[in-house]
Amino acid sequence: MLCMIDEAHRQGLAERGFVLLPNYTSPALLEELRSTVDALYAREGEAAGSEFRREQDTDRLANLLDKGKVFQRVVGDPLMLEYVGAVITERFKLGSLNGRAPHPGSDWVQPLHCDVGLVKDERGYSVCNIIWMLDDFTPENGATRIIPGTHQLGKLPQEVLADPMGPHPDEALVTGPAGSVVIINAHAWHGGTANRSRGPRRCLHAFYTRWDKPQQQFQREMLSEATKAGLTPAMRELLAIDDEENARITKSDPLRSGFLK
């Protein structure tokens, strides 16, 4: 694969645990994603996100690969996959694609966490999360905060902090215009802040995991036969649709339904 990652970004991922690409998404794709997500929230109502998890004062969507072909363009974006490969240096797969939108005017803060409760192990890093900003991320509307460098600690925030929901002296607030993306080594402590604005703060979370770890949402079970039939061979591999080892790992993991993301 042609290397497309800027060396400064590669270093930022290694040292800080995240990198921001402002205005990455084309205006046409951004509008299609917004309209598709809004239609899903309207159609699913209170059931939105129920295939995976609900969250206080927050709208959620889950199993998005089954709900619009446009989402394949998100999870299969070649540059984003190269960034994932810079974090997870072994073979990886998609763990899930979710939507998240904290309610305007809420004080709810997502606790600092490492995705799926994993820390770096003897093989290296195993999780990467890419946030696609469908609205501006600002200090007022619930932008993600990250504690730089914590992906290297090998500890979960709840093992160190008295209050993972409280402010952290080293936190960096990731802000940017709609259409930006932020690639996060998901072992870095991170979480959404409160949306104290009067407007929406919609985003997509594309979560990738090393091949030996369970998928957050078991794509083979959750996708319809019609969706699976329309996948390219490359997309089937990324979603691990035909892999029996992935099925064994994912179905046998007792924590799968309790993952925090």
- Exposed, middle or buried, 213 (CB in 10 Å: 0-12/13-18/19+)? buried
pLDDT 10s digits, 18-69: 999 999 999 999 999 999 999 999 999 999 998 887 889 999 999 999 999 9
Asked if 60 contacts 99 with a C-beta cutoff of 8 angstroms, the reply is yes
Residue with tokens 């990250």: 146
Q: Does the structure show a pLDDT above 70 at 74?
A: yes
181-185 and 172-174 as β-strands: parallel, antiparallel, unpaired? unpaired
Phi and psi, residue 172, nearest 5° = -115, 130
pLDDT 10s digits, 125-164: 999 999 999 999 999 999 999 999 999 999 999 999 999 9
The closest alpha carbon to 91, from 126, 130, 129, 131, belongs to 126
DSSP for residue 256: G
pLDDT of residue 254: 53
Confidence bin at 253 (pLDDT 50/70/90): confident
Contacts of 252 (CB under 8 A, 6+ apart): 214
Q: Which domains does the chain have, with CATH numbers?
A: 18-255 (2.60.120.620)
pLDDT 10s digits, 112-123: 999 999 999 999
Secondary structure (DSSP) of 15-83: HTSEEEETT-S-HHHHHHHHHHHHHHHHHHGGGTTTTT--BTTEEEE--GGGS-THHHHHHT-HHHHHH
CA distance 56 to 61: 14
pLDDT of residue 259: 40
- Exposed, middle or buried, 197 (CB in 10 Å: 0-12/13-18/19+)? middle
Q: Does the structure show a pLDDT above 70 at 239?
A: yes
Residue 216, classed as helix, strand or coil, is coil
The one-letter code for the residue type at 174 is: V
Buried b (16+ CB within 10 A) or exposed e, 169-182: eebbebbbebbbbb
